[in-house]
Structure 1
Amino acid sequence: MPDVATVDLAHSYLQKILLSSVYDVAKVTPLSSMNKLSARLGCQVFLKREDMQPVHSFKLRGAYNRIAQLSADECRLGVVCASAGNHAQGVALSASSRGVDAVIVMPTTTPDIKIDAVRRLGGTVLLHGQSFDQANEHAQHLARSEGRVYIAPFDDEAVIAGQGTVAQEMLQQQRDLELVFVPVGGGGLVAGIAAYYKAVKPGVKIIGVEPEDAACLKAALAAGEPVTLPQVGLFADGVAVKRIGSEPFRLAKAYVDEVVTVSSDEICAAVKDIFEDTRAIAEPAGALSLAGLKKYFGLSGPGLAEGSHRGAGQKVAAILSGANVNFHSLRYVSERCELGEQKEAVLAVRVPEQPGSFLRFCELLERRVMTEFNYRFSSRDSAVVFAGIRLSQGQQELTDIIDRLESAGFAVQDLSADETAKLHVRYMVGGHPPEPLNERLFSFEFPEYPGALLKFLTTLQSKWNISLFHYRNHGAAFGRVLAGFEVPEVDHQAFGRFLTELGFVWQEETQSPAYRLFLGNRPG
């Protein structure tokens, strides 16, 4: 039973939320059903579409509610904030709509696309410092020296109340939700949503979701007070906050029922889920709460089996908090989303350096889809292959694959959780051979279907040693392979006939400058 002070705090914020001035610029966003994910989970999943706000983020709500409460004198002096993301755009549009001058201090490292977006919305951009902390310090200096009102991104009662209107809409749109998953950065959104629900419908569980490498709420709850993390990961930059706000923590401590943390790979998988159900492209922080929902119900994470359906039949919701995604980061999301759902494994496999070893390796995989296959000759005795394998049954299937390979004499190491391998090594497999080779390099195309790589390698069997091999499945209609062969000069004519008989589209790449610089025989 909550004490009187806790109940009074919730009702105090309920009043602030009900009186919030957000809808002059913000809009009521849909609470959309995620039909595909619901079918997988066995419960009904809803997604609150804050990506559909005019600035594609919930941040507009809190910024406008704070600026709407300024006095005439404060409006005349103007406002200032520091942000390189969604808060900047929310403040710029809110201030412009009320005729208030807004200075947005952004780090000098901010991409031009974000700077241009703030300027289009009417904000004056001031670039200062190389980090958010330096920009924020300068923004607060301007507030003191020029009399401007500093608009905090989360640690402000009016901002929290504005964000709480998200919960007000959700209750009106779906009255029987049982769990609500909310992304946590500085804590303004989770504080507003939790306070509203606990005042109106306290039986609804509020689950905060944080990245594993930026879990400032989890750390604060463990310590009993806000603490400053030494560093945070930047993949989900919208929630990359080292210290939760004091007021958000006061509310979260009282009203948030649980905190779930997720990996970058799990966030990538959630971005994919959102796209497949809605065709919306969420920013990583925007997909954070859905990643937490999936982990809570056992659809991701080590040791959680797909189909556990802890909440079978429940109605649950996640907040799609923003969609201001850097387009180029989608390349990373695409690479990592399958790993996030244990639908792909990355292995290092040591194979004997002899003809037929690659083929035997692929045969042991029993026509499973190979997503990647990297190899470079390094010694005459054995070679290490970097391999990606598509999974359909999660961890148990991976365990079976490793057991089968090791029983056949292949040494295997699972790199699926190795961040260095996934971020860097997979793109760096190669280098110059340790000894001069009579090597020729070719690119191949072949129709992509299950077992296609196995068939390719079977067809490729020959008396010429494969000295380099790279393959990556991108879901296209054609697979693409880069392969090197040791071909003595006396065999060139016979090798030409071999290529013709293969029946694949091919092109020689031996004279490629990139190959000669990074992969061919060492100069001299």
Structure 2
Amino acid sequence: MPQKYLKKILTTRVYDVARETPLDYAPILSRRTGNRVWLKREDEQPVFSFKCRGAYNKMAGLSAAELKKGVVAASAGNHAQGVALAGYRLSAPTTIVMPRTTPQIKVDAVRSFGGKVVLHGDNYDAAYAHAREIATQRKLTFVHPYDDPEVIAGQGTIGMEIIKQHTGALDAVFVPVGGGGLISGIAVYIKQLRPEVKIIGVEPEDADAMERSLKAGKRVLLDHVGIFADGVAVRQVGEETFKLCKQFVDDMVVVTNDEICAAIKDIFEDRRSILEPAGALAYAGLKRYAEGKKLKDKNFIAIASGANVNFDRLRYVAERAEVGERREAIFAVTIPERPGALKQFCTILGDHNITEFNYRFADPKAAHIFVGVQIPPDTADAKKLVATLRSQGYATLDMTDNEMAKLHIRHLVGGRAPNAVNEILYRFEFPERPGALMNFLDKMGGSWNISLFHYRSHGADFGRVLVGMQVPPQDKKKFQKFLDTLGYEYAEETGNPAYKLFLS
């Protein structure tokens, strides 16, 4: 099997549309990690991601009759653009099924290459199923985004370029992982020529299908995937890609969304390029891997896989980057409600710069404040600061890793409602499309009063919403039935300490 892929990769036709991207040495990233770091710049492809390689290689191998009839694909972004570009170059009609939640900028990009866009469903799974139906009904060739030998071989040309461009010592190549097509192609090529080079996959913690599958020894289907790094948001890896990864991938790294945000910022500071979350994923994994294993003076390559980021998402990235780099800590602190208390609190902070401060009067004896503090990176300074505050008699909670606090509570501090009896709190993920809120309200009916609602757009396919509802104890079964029929992802937050301190 490896020899078969080696031949496929060496004889691909990807360079009809793709370019050989540069391997850029990154001096700032190298200094920051204590290792020599290069970025493989797939964000510089014509469609700003590597996906055009695999899509074109698959389609270039079709017969004239198949091309004339046309192809169909399902995608929310990069694969769609790759297929549309390949169709344009090969004069083949392309039908791309995209979720209705797909941002307009991505829909327009596909149409600019002549692709016909069909909007269907609220997520990739629904779009994929519909695309398969179209392929069967109209007898069109389906171009899979990752689980196809020709697509894998097309992505494998990145590994071929790396071997040619980097002839010196190389310790590891870090690759973002969604369905596994990219890492499979790179791994199967590099391991044949440079078996000593480690191939390390990187996934977000809320979309770690490959990590779980490799540990289980079989493909695992995730109940839910996170949407921030949408380029790798896959519930189940491919059959073929899983076989290849079992044989050729050395290790997997799982990172947080905050670490991805920090990686986007780091790469911008080094290259002045803004990558999409999935595009910066490999470098985020490199940082965690090197720090966790205390590696220095090694030679690492990270795949910068794409730059199709929505402008609106940059606000969210900027908010979270400092936390991801551990340059900002977020605390909930209780101080006395009296004149001079805030000054005394700031005195204890000493030279630490306050990055955020949220407060509203609620209790005549105690003040609950939500505060962000700048801290030196890569130190235990936050823990020391918590210990210092507690030793001075301040009840302190570290909220740096509290997702609800970072997404919602920081914007709601002081919004107490003493009359909101029987209030429960839930986080929902709403499809980012017209009618999503109305669907929620229709199914909820007039059964319970909404006592709190917070939403802020982050330029993603789904919006994150915090909702408080007044649900009497006797209505719990009825309420659970409502949740089960809603069709949105949800999580209860009534017991979250941030809610208890600032809202309840």
* TM-score normalised per structure 1: 0.78
Matched, 1:263 2:256: yes
Alignment of 1:31-430 (within 5 A): 31-176=23-168, 177-298=170-291, 309-310=294-295, 312-430=296-414
Give deviations 1:435-460, integer Å, cap 9, x for gaps.
9xxxxxxxxxxxxxxxxxxxxxxxxx
SS of the aligned residue for 1:383 comes to strand
Q: Figure out how many residues of one structure are paired with residues of the other and give that number.
A: 418
Whole-angstrom distance in 2 between the partners of 1:122 and 1:171: 35
Is the 1:376–1:433 Cα contact (8 Å) retained in structure 2? no
How far has the Cα of 1:406 moved from its partner? 1.2
Match status 1:19 vs 2:3: no
> Would you say the 8 A contact 1:378–1:433 is kept in 2?
no
Distance 1:244 1:375 in 2: 45
TM-superposed CA distance for 1:40, in Å, is: 2.1
In 1, Cα distance between equivalents of 2:78 and 2:141: 19
Q: C-alpha displacement at 1:130, in angstroms?
A: 2.2
Distance across 2 between alignment mates of 1:332 and 1:109: 18
Work out whether residues 68 and 91 of structure 2, in 8 Å CA contact, stay in contact via their aligned partners in 1.
no
CA offset at residue 393 of structure 1? 4.8
Q: Does the 8 Å contact 2:325/2:377 carry over to 1?
A: no
Range with bigger deviation, 50-59 or 225-234:
225-234
Could you list the per-position Cα deviations for residues 456-498 of structure 1 after superposition, in whole angstroms to 9, with x for gaps in the alignment?
Answer: xxxxxxxxxxxxxxxxxxxxxxxxxxxxxxxxxxxxxxxxxxx
Please give the alpha-carbon distance, in whole angstroms, between the structure 2 residues aligned to 1:198 and 1:433: 61
**1:432 positional shift:** 6.4
Q: State, as a whole percentage, how many aligned pairs show the same letter.
A: 53
For residues 2 and 273 of structure 2, what CA distance do their matches in structure 1 show? 33
Report the alpha carbon displacement of residue 137 of structure 1 after superposing the two structures with TM.
1.0
Cα distance 1:61–1:358, how it changes in 2: closer, same or farther (>3 A)?
A: same
Partners of 2:220 and 2:395 lie apart in 1 by 44
Q: 1:339 is matched by which residue type in structure 2?
A: V
Determine the C-alpha separation between the residues in 1 that align with 2:101 and 2:287. Answer: 34
Q: What SS does the corresponding residue of 1:327 show, helix, strand or coil?
A: coil
- Give ranges in structure 2 of 5+ residues lacking alignment: 420-504
1:339 deviates by 0.8
Instruction: Write the distance in 1 (CA, Å) between the matches of 2:340 and 2:117.
Output: 62
Q: Distance in 1 between matches of 2:326 and 2:120?
A: 42
Once the two structures are superposed, residues 169-226 of structure 1 have per-residue CA deviations (whole angstroms, 9 ceiling, x without a partner) of 1111112322000000000000000000111111110000001110010111122111
Q: What displacement does 1:430 show?
A: 2.2
Deviations 1:491-517, CA, capped at 9 Å, x for gaps: xxxxxxxxxxxxxxxxxxxxxxxxxxx
What amino acid maps onto 1:76 in structure 2?
Answer: K
What residue is the counterpart of 1:513 in the other structure? none
Aligned residues of 1:42 and 1:309 also touching (Cα < 8 A): no
- C-alpha change, 1:84 and 1:433, in structure 2 (3 Å) is closer
Aligned residue number for residue 22 of structure 2: 30
Query: Could you list the per-position Cα deviations for residues 241-290 of structure 1 after superposition, in whole angstroms to 9, with x for gaps in the alignment?
Result: 00000001000000000000000000001000110000000000000000
String of CA shifts for 1:414-433, please: whole Å, max 9, x gaps.
11111111111111112369
Contact 2:58 2:143 in 1 (8 A): yes
Whole-Å separation in 1 of the counterparts to 2:257 and 2:9 = 33
- Cα distance in 2 between the residues matched to 1:291 and 1:393: 15
Bigger mean CA deviation after superposition, 395-404 or 276-285:
395-404
Q: Distance in 2 between matches of 1:27 and 1:238?
A: 21
Give the deviation of 1:100 after TM superposition: 0.3
The runs of at least 4 aligned residues of structure 1 exceeding 2 Å deviation read: 430-435
Give the residue type in structure 1 aligned to 2:198: K
Could you say what secondary structure the match of 1:137 adopts? Answer: helix
Contact kept, 8 Å, 1:379 with 1:434, in 2: the verdict is no
Code of the residue aligned with 2:381 in structure 1: it is E
Counterpart Cα distance in 1 of 2:288 and 2:322: 15
User: Contact conserved, 1:51 with 1:322, CA < 8 A, in 2?
Assistant: yes
Cα distance, 1:309 vs structure 2: 4.4
Equivalent residue letter for 1:223: A
Q: TM-score, normalised by structure 2?
A: 0.81
State the distance in 1 between where 2:388 and 2:236 align.
47
Cα distance change, pair 253–282 in 1 and its aligned pair in 2 (3 A)? same
Taking a change above 3 Å as real, the CA distance of residues 242 and 400 of structure 1, as seen in their structure-2 partners, is same
Opposite residue 364 of structure 1, the aligned amino acid is: I
CA distance in 2, matches of 1:353, 1:395: 32
Separation (CA, whole Å) in 1 of partners of 2:47 and 2:4: 29
